[in-house]
Structure 1
Amino acid sequence: MDRLKHYCLPFVVAFPFSYAFSVSAQEGANAQPRLEEVVVTARKREESIQETPVAVTALSGESLRDRGILAVEELSKSVPSLQINNSTSPQIFIRGIGQRAPFARFDPSVSVYLDGIFIPRPDGQLLDTIDVSSVQVLRGPQGTLFGKNNTGGALVFTLKKPGEDADSYVEASVGNYNEQRIQAAFDVPVSDDFYTRFSFNSRRRDGFLKDATGRENQSIDRLSAILQSRWIASEGLTVDGFAFVGKIRENFPSYHCRITNEDALFVNGLGILWPGDTDPNNPSAYVDNCNANRRSAQGDLRTNQGDSQRQQKDQDELMLGLTFDYQLSDSHNLKAIIGYRDATKINPQTTADEGGPAEFLRADLLGDSEQESLTLEVQLSGLIFEDVDYTAGLFVQNEFKSERFNTANPLIGSEPVNFLGLFAGQQGFDAGAVTDLLNSLTGLVPGGTVPLVAGALPLATVQDFDIDGETIAAFAQATWHVTRDWEVTFGGRYTQETRDSYLVTRSADLAEVTSIVSGADPRFVPVLPDMGAMAFLGRWSQDPLTIANNILRERFPGDIRAPLGAPKVDTREDTFRQFTPMLSSAYLVPDTILDGTWLNSAMIYGTWSNGFKSGFQEPFGLDGLSVVEPEELENRELGIKIDALEQSLRVNIAAYSMTFKNMHLITVNVDSNNTLVVGSQNAGESVIEGAELEVVWFPSADAVLNFTYSSNDYRFEEFMDNDLKSLALRGERVPIDRSDEDFAVSPDTTASLGFQYLIDTRYGLFTPRVDISYKSEIYLGLDRGAWESAKENKANAYADAYFLVDARVKWDLDRDDLSVSIYAKNLLDERYDIGAVSAGDSIGTFTRVLGDPRTYGIEMRKTF
């Protein structure tokens, strides 16, 4: 039994509350295990999770290892209301609140912290769990204490700190898809008061999505290292520092395509033809392109995205952190946290297209995108008046971001009658003159029709975007212990966010395009040179669109395949301010009431809190910079936390109702030049109501079971948009009500069930473990057309519900502090979607990204 007791701690912390139990040898083999106290810092001070009136899930580093969690995105398998996608862009959603787009102008709705340092960009938030002591997932708006105000929640990672005693390990694993991983950490005490720790992680895996071009996408290639130091400067002062260096060289997932709306603007809605179309009465190139990458047309785990796709995810990152923790007195503590982050996304990267192998719609990040931020947070905390705990402080952040973005489309074609309607909304259009010209040209072509070629869609729009951001916030929160069992917490935060944007836009010079194409092939006759419109003196069967586009490609072989006009410069500075208060009350049921019942402890709490996410400026086609207003969230929450059955059962429940104003949504609109633009807008108001359940139960000293469940009801109360077809065809704004649509990206229901059992043998301790997770169907629509098509067939905009089963068996040897594990993730080899988008009004396609298939392997861990 003594040996079994030795293994109890790493066994039990593998579950969501990061708990432990202990059983003494004298109690015997059948003794009931007891849950031990879990300490969290959700309120910026150490306190028991069962006495913290916050919806928080905590997992220790041992817990993460026992579950096989190697990266942040795997947390969503077991944390209620948490949805993390790492597809073509990283996305973290809590209770339906998150950020869908990867662009530099968007702040994340869910904040991520590493040792107190805020990570401001989504593409740096999905960390590998290297040398992590614990992770806390805080659900609900973080509007008071945490460094960067947000509307969704926070993920708080704490590194394992250096100490006096050497605590080192080496862990290695191999698996299918040629996965190879090695992770190690070494404690190196320098002196009695100065300690260091070095850890590193290398993980590589071949891509499991095989593209027709020979690429292997959805690969893993990550290398990171952390150097930490701890200096006990005096009895009251501790200085912690860390340096994180990360390098990523892997491939994004590729995706499949599905046509969802035959009447979409780019399918049949505008009557346009694409390169490869040779029959104006039966244009099929666009649909054929999508269908060439349809999931049913490809083999399992096979895609066909073409040579133009740049799926590389190359990024270098440096983070530096320094924390001064000074005990001013027995009752007051001062902490200062300084953080610096520098990251470079190495481009080009293809971020979006219509889903097929041809280069019809291109969206590329060009050049290297730079990200740099500096943060300072000062916290003063302690006890006043003998019964009031307080925390107050300041947070300051300066950040610079830059990116170069290219949106490009080919020269497209049209029949004369469609051509007149296509350009009817353009300024300076003389319908009579063009009609006369077309009639004269028609007589030159046998058959009485003229193929028309034009730059009707943006042939190339290159935007260099620099953003300087400054955040200043002051916060305070106090908890008054009114009685021994009742406490009231109140706090507030004032935030001021300033965004200063500099945008340079260069669009294709369509007159020059007309000159180049007509000069290279005299069959192309200019019609409207400033619009790139030309008549082709030939037949559609000769494929004039491919001919014209090939002329441009030969002249401009690089990423920008058209001559650019003069730059247009836009600058804008805006400041957004918000005060976010909170109030909560918690009641610990006295032992005198619980004595004689099956309950060992119980806490009931209620919280009213607010969150705020800054507004921003974004490029909006030829109109330059437009402003998107800040998000605001009001949360009302009730919860109960219970330990029962001689502290062998833990049940935590939270129910909430949130009012969400000005949600940031990605939509498709048109600029003043009638050009389609993917941009952002604010949904007026929405409501999120839901409940979460977390259960941990030790049925015996050898077994533990955990269960989590969340159910959320998301609904728009006010969401007005404009009909895209009316805008594109007539420049007419026709309002439409989109309030009946589902929230995108987040499932309504999530659940998880885990079971683990200890088997003590003469050969060592064996620990089999099984985890089952469930996600309900997820809506992935972008516009009204996607919603309408989904009502006819859910496969047009929804990812199906799915179960995932993970299994592990760990063998702890009696000697040498050595363990060996075999594992399988997605044991049943389920096919499920982890992201992408359905756009029914504009491009009329649903692009879908597959999650990991079954992976398996063996790992070994040696501690020193």
Structure 2
Amino acid sequence: MKRFSLVVTPLLAGLLSSTLHAQTVEPVAIKTKPKGGQIEEVVVTARKREENIQETPVAITALSGDALRELGITTTADLSKTVPSLQINDSTSAQIYIRGIGQRAPMARFDPSVSVYLDGIFIPRADGQLLDTIDIASVQVLRGPQGTLFGKNNTGGALVFTLQKPGDEVSGYIEGALGNYADQRLRAGIDLPVNESFSTRLAVNYQRRDGFLDDLSTPRNQSRDRQSLTLQTRWLINDDWSMDSFGFFGRVRERYPSYHCKITSEDALFVNGLGLLWPGDTDPSNPSAYRENCEANNRDALPDLVTNQGPSQQQNKASDTIMLGATFDWEINDITSAKFIFGVRDAVKIGPQSAADEGGPQPFLRGLTLGDNAQDSYTFEMQLNGSFGEGAVDYTAGFFFQDEYKSERFLTSSPLTGAELATLGVLLAGQSGVDLGALESLIGSLGSVPGGTVPLILSAAPLSLVQDFDISGQTYALFSQATWHITENIEMTVGGRYTEEYRTSDLISRNADLGAVLSTISSADPRFVPAYEDMGVMAYLGPWADDPIALANDILTSAYPDIIGAPLGEASYDDKDSVFRQFTPMVSAAWVMPEEWFNDSLFDSTMIYATWSNGFKSGFHEPAGVDGLVEIQPEELENQELGIKLDALDRTLRINLALYSMTFKNMQLITVNVDSANGLIITSQNAGESIIEGGEVEMTWLPSENWMVNFSYSNNNYKYEEFMDNDLYSLAAKAQFVPVDRSQEDFAVSPKQTAAFGVQYTALTPLGVFIPRIDVSYKDKAYMGLDPVSWEVAQTNPDVIYAPAYTLVDARLTWVNPDSGLNIAGYIKNLTDERYDIGAVATSDSLGTYSQVLGDPRTFGIELRQEF
């Protein structure tokens, strides 16, 4: 049967956006060496040695904790305003994209394409990756595949967070903020040493903000309500051993943003493509309820910052997280050390939470997570770092293990719909075991009804489908990397990682019991006569003017008022096991030009590097209607990169440039397909091959000791070389496979161009230090289509498929009292009150709608920070 399951002062130094070594596998300590009016030399301790970031051959943007505060960055999502090629959307689901590579869907079966680490511990779930920047010593954005030393699901890159470590004397800070929309923030951290060898640090975070989106039916959406506590210890066991540990406890009780709706295609299956009628349709010759439902939530027809998504929306964002970590450092000898990293993460995503609907106030099509969904993971990593040949070769080698379990209970539902007999015949065409003649005779025997044809009520899309998905998996990896310092100025790095991913999936599915549905409705109102149980078909002995579709749905809702909304039939079971194996090598060469070449020139130092690297993202199992679980192949990425890093103008100008070309194989994409019973399903597929070519530039300039200018720019060009799909209408109406070439489409979600510009002035006065700063960020338009017809629509009406380009302006004024440690800052984010989208999806084949999620409007407030 058919199913449509659509589911240069210290202050200046802290602000420098710098480049760190891509092979960092331990928390990075950022050190600076003052050079007066010059850009300070940034030194990192990544592989048990200090390295100048301008002499390390990969593009990474790094920001210290001070820089995050000065830029007003309080959440991970804010990083995308500053970092080139980084796109982070925090709407109904967390999405992190680097260079056009990321994961769009929020379901548990999908792994993220960009890895996030906290103190060396991998966070495997996308909805747990958007950490607050509380008590962060530094954050690094590693762009491009990091398949050797990081490895785990790293086709896009990695975000590496390092906590502020406990100090050896009592010190700390307390920070508070008040802003519009009743924004309240409180942060505090304190070092509490116990003795010379054991120190602790406690940090707390509280933030609450009212939502800025008024919905006509529900409380304000896009609110914030989160609390967290971090406890750290540092134990210097002896001269050779030390241990750092942390416990993170987080609680989130917020509301996702509601969204707006536009009709993209009149020919979409659920608009006019199949001739279906919806609750509210009383004239089969002029169906309008579906369109009117979407248009009732059209942004252009509503007041500013108002949505109309209806009382059934479940925009709840609720989760509890416990994360524990411990890192043991062992100094084996002067040139060799080992590190052992243990991590535990226990998180619960609390339902119900809306994952998708068609965008209108009536619950025509819904996707929700229900109940408590578990996310448990255990990780262990061992690293060995050292050198040989009198320091000619530095190496890192190790082993990684992860054991993860996740569960998800997902509901896909829609109302009973309506159709005339001719439409019903199309819907049933191609299905085995259906006697259309007998069905026609049955309906014909009912006679005529006032006002024309006999109204038919049916379940054309899943009335209620509840799926319990349990996924467990283990990851084993061996990695090694060595850097050969061929000369004082030339080095070559070679590395590789072998990974095995074991994935086991168990799926329990329960569809609505359509026989019980027919019995319930016909018993309550004898005008409804059961006709064909497999699709829940009923004839209504009355006119269309009675709105029989709404009558039938009202009866069902009264009988089953819970969120599932229908009786469920017997459970079906499926399970699948797979093993995915991959070797990801890398080679990099770097040349630091001799300093004597730059005597009496504009340049101070220059490094050129070339890198060839690979990334791998595990495959997974996907529910595919009556076919149960199917296997989706892993993603593979090959990257070729050329970069240059230079300091000039007596080290007052720094420019870092990267050019790259990436070949993407088996890219995992969401699409709509058909199962073996000709039922339409939302599923995943692998695009054969695609190419990403682009470039990034980052610049820091100090025109004087008081001025600082930052600039970044990225340009990424995406192209599918091979991407075949199926025509959805042919599948639905004719049960025919008609291939569609989608290789001309743009990549979804990621803008081609991004830019950021910031300027800051430091004024030293008798009243203290005043630091005004302004930041401007630009994002190009982004394609948001999901299916082939969306691309066709985009050629003539891009406004209903593309998220528009936008520019955000942030301003900040900070006053610092150097003697007392008191900082006071006033800020305005989105100074021009720009309206822009942080999430959107267009499904023109099936739903025929474009759902848009608004980003934050103008916000402002004042912050106070006291250090002691």
Match in the other structure for 1:732: 736
Match in the other structure for 2:175: 171
Shift of 1:854: 0.4
Give the letter for the 2:267 counterpart: D
Shift of 1:514: 1.4
- The answer to which of 642-651 and 604-613 deviates more is 642-651
List aligned pairs for 1:694-733, cutoff 5 A.
Answer: 694-733=698-737
Q: Given the alignment of the two structures, is residue 427 of structure 1 paired with residue 432 of structure 2, yes or no?
A: yes
Match in the other structure for 2:377: 373
Q: 1:40 touches 1:58 (CA, 8 Å); kept in 2? A: no
- Tell me the distance in 2 between the aligned counterparts of 1:436 and 1:273: 22
Give the letter for the 1:341 counterpart: R
Shift of 1:384: 1.3
Query: Would the alpha carbon gap of residues 207 and 429 (structure 1) be closer, same or farther in structure 2, given more than 3 Å must change?
Result: same
SS in 1 for 2:225: strand
Match in the other structure for 1:516: 520
Give the letter for the 1:185 counterpart: G
Q: 1:9 touches 1:20 (CA, 8 Å); kept in 2? A: no
Q: Given the alignment of the two structures, is residue 745 of structure 1 paired with residue 746 of structure 2, yes or no?
A: no
List aligned pairs for 1:334-345, cutoff 5 A.
Answer: 334-345=338-349
Name stretches of at least 5 consecutive residues in structure 1 with no aligned partner.
Answer: 1-6, 25-31
Q: 2:471 touches 2:505 (CA, 8 Å); kept in 1? A: yes
Match in the other structure for 1:411: 416
CA RMSD of aligned residues (A): 1.3
- Tell me the distance in 1 between the aligned counterparts of 2:106 and 2:403: 20
Match in the other structure for 2:280: 276
Q: 1:857 aligns with which of 854, 861, 865?
A: 861
Match in the other structure for 2:116: 112
Q: 2:47 touches 2:385 (CA, 8 Å); kept in 1? A: no
Shift of 1:20: 8.8
- Tell me the distance in 1 between the aligned counterparts of 2:32 and 2:207: 33
Q: 1:85 touches 1:92 (CA, 8 Å); kept in 2? A: yes
Match in the other structure for 1:684: 688
Q: Given the alignment of the two structures, is residue 621 of structure 1 paired with residue 625 of structure 2, yes or no?
A: yes
SS in 1 for 2:247: strand
Q: Given the alignment of the two structures, is residue 14 of structure 1 paired with residue 15 of structure 2, yes or no?
A: yes
Q: 2:33 touches 2:41 (CA, 8 Å); kept in 1? A: no
Match in the other structure for 1:530: 534
- Tell me the distance in 1 between the aligned counterparts of 2:264 and 2:670: 19
* Cα shift readout 1:659-689 (whole Å, capped 9, x = no counterpart): 0001111111222333332111111100000
- Tell me the distance in 2 between the aligned counterparts of 1:347 and 1:41: 42
Q: Given the alignment of the two structures, is residue 61 of structure 1 paired with residue 65 of structure 2, yes or no?
A: yes
* Cα shift readout 1:617-646 (whole Å, capped 9, x = no counterpart): 021223211111000000000000001111
Shift of 1:45: 6.2
Query: Would the alpha carbon gap of residues 467 and 23 (structure 1) be closer, same or farther in structure 2, given more than 3 Å must change?
Result: closer
Give the letter for the 1:310 counterpart: Q
Match in the other structure for 1:575: 579
Match in the other structure for 1:465: 469
Q: Given the alignment of the two structures, is residue 693 of structure 1 paired with residue 694 of structure 2, yes or no?
A: no
Q: 1:445 aligns with which of 446, 449, 453?
A: 449
Q: Given the alignment of the two structures, is residue 193 of structure 1 paired with residue 197 of structure 2, yes or no?
A: yes
Q: 1:588 aligns with which of 586, 589, 592?
A: 592
Q: 1:13 touches 1:20 (CA, 8 Å); kept in 2? A: no
- Tell me the distance in 1 between the aligned counterparts of 2:11 and 2:202: 22
List aligned pairs for 1:783-802, cutoff 5 A.
Answer: 783-802=787-806
SS in 2 for 1:101: coil
Shift of 1:22: 7.3
SS in 1 for 2:171: coil
Give the letter for the 1:602 counterpart: T
* Cα shift readout 1:803-860 (whole Å, capped 9, x = no counterpart): 1000000001244211110000000100000112000000000000000000000010
Q: Given the alignment of the two structures, is residue 313 of structure 1 paired with residue 324 of structure 2, yes or no?
A: no
Match in the other structure for 2:852: 848
Q: How many residues align?
A: 850
- Tell me the distance in 2 between the aligned counterparts of 1:149 and 1:99: 11
Match in the other structure for 1:162: 166
Q: Given the alignment of the two structures, is residue 391 of structure 1 paired with residue 396 of structure 2, yes or no?
A: yes
Q: Given the alignment of the two structures, is residue 129 of structure 1 paired with residue 133 of structure 2, yes or no?
A: yes
- Tell me the distance in 1 between the aligned counterparts of 2:810 and 2:403: 42
TM-score with structure 2 length normalisation?
Answer: 0.97
Shift of 1:46: 4.7
Q: 1:336 touches 1:376 (CA, 8 Å); kept in 2? A: yes
- Tell me the distance in 2 between the aligned counterparts of 1:619 and 1:613: 19
Query: Would the alpha carbon gap of residues 75 and 250 (structure 1) be closer, same or farther in structure 2, given more than 3 Å must change?
Result: same
- The answer to which of 145-154 and 32-41 deviates more is 32-41
* Cα shift readout 1:502-549 (whole Å, capped 9, x = no counterpart): 100111111221122112111111111222101101011000001111
SS in 2 for 1:271: coil
Shift of 1:214: 3.9
Give the letter for the 2:456 counterpart: L
Query: Would the alpha carbon gap of residues 249 and 69 (structure 1) be closer, same or farther in structure 2, given more than 3 Å must change?
Result: same
Give the letter for the 1:151 counterpart: T
Q: 1:8 touches 1:20 (CA, 8 Å); kept in 2? A: no
Give the letter for the 2:16 counterpart: F
- The answer to which of 497-506 and 425-434 deviates more is 425-434
- Tell me the distance in 1 between the aligned counterparts of 2:52 and 2:725: 47
Q: Given the alignment of the two structures, is residue 225 of structure 1 paired with residue 236 of structure 2, yes or no?
A: no
Give the letter for the 1:417 counterpart: A
Query: Would the alpha carbon gap of residues 199 and 341 (structure 1) be closer, same or farther in structure 2, given more than 3 Å must change?
Result: same
Give the letter for the 1:675 counterpart: G
Q: 1:147 touches 1:395 (CA, 8 Å); kept in 2? A: no
- The answer to which of 517-526 and 632-641 deviates more is 517-526
- The answer to which of 142-151 and 650-659 deviates more is 142-151
Q: Given the alignment of the two structures, is residue 655 of structure 1 paired with residue 656 of structure 2, yes or no?
A: no
Q: 1:21 touches 1:35 (CA, 8 Å); kept in 2? A: no
- Tell me the distance in 2 between the aligned counterparts of 1:162 and 1:678: 48
- Tell me the distance in 2 between the aligned counterparts of 1:187 and 1:678: 51
Give the letter for the 2:657 counterpart: I
- Tell me the distance in 1 between the aligned counterparts of 2:306 and 2:538: 39
Match in the other structure for 1:38: 42
- Tell me the distance in 2 between the aligned counterparts of 1:157 and 1:330: 28
Shift of 1:709: 0.4
SS in 1 for 2:636: strand
- Tell me the distance in 2 between the aligned counterparts of 1:167 and 1:713: 48
Match in the other structure for 1:545: 549
- The answer to which of 264-273 and 452-461 deviates more is 452-461
SS in 2 for 1:217: coil
- Tell me the distance in 2 between the aligned counterparts of 1:20 and 1:36: 10
Match in the other structure for 2:441: 436
- Tell me the distance in 1 between the aligned counterparts of 2:752 and 2:64: 27
- Tell me the distance in 2 between the aligned counterparts of 1:347 and 1:168: 37
SS in 2 for 1:483: coil
* Cα shift readout 1:92-137 (whole Å, capped 9, x = no counterpart): 0000000001111111100000000100000000000000000011
Give the letter for the 2:639 counterpart: N
Give the letter for the 1:182 counterpart: L
SS in 1 for 2:702: strand
Query: Would the alpha carbon gap of residues 448 and 854 (structure 1) be closer, same or farther in structure 2, given more than 3 Å must change?
Result: closer
Shift of 1:427: 2.3
Match in the other structure for 2:493: 489
- Tell me the distance in 1 between the aligned counterparts of 2:49 and 2:60: 14
Aligned sequence identity (%): 60
* Cα shift readout 1:208-255 (whole Å, capped 9, x = no counterpart): 000001410000111001000000001121100000000000000110
Q: 1:457 touches 1:675 (CA, 8 Å); kept in 2? A: no
- Tell me the distance in 1 between the aligned counterparts of 2:162 and 2:809: 28
Q: 1:264 touches 1:840 (CA, 8 Å); kept in 2? A: yes
- Tell me the distance in 2 between the aligned counterparts of 1:595 and 1:760: 34
* Cα shift readout 1:773-806 (whole Å, capped 9, x = no counterpart): 0000011110011111111111111011111000
Give the letter for the 2:531 counterpart: V
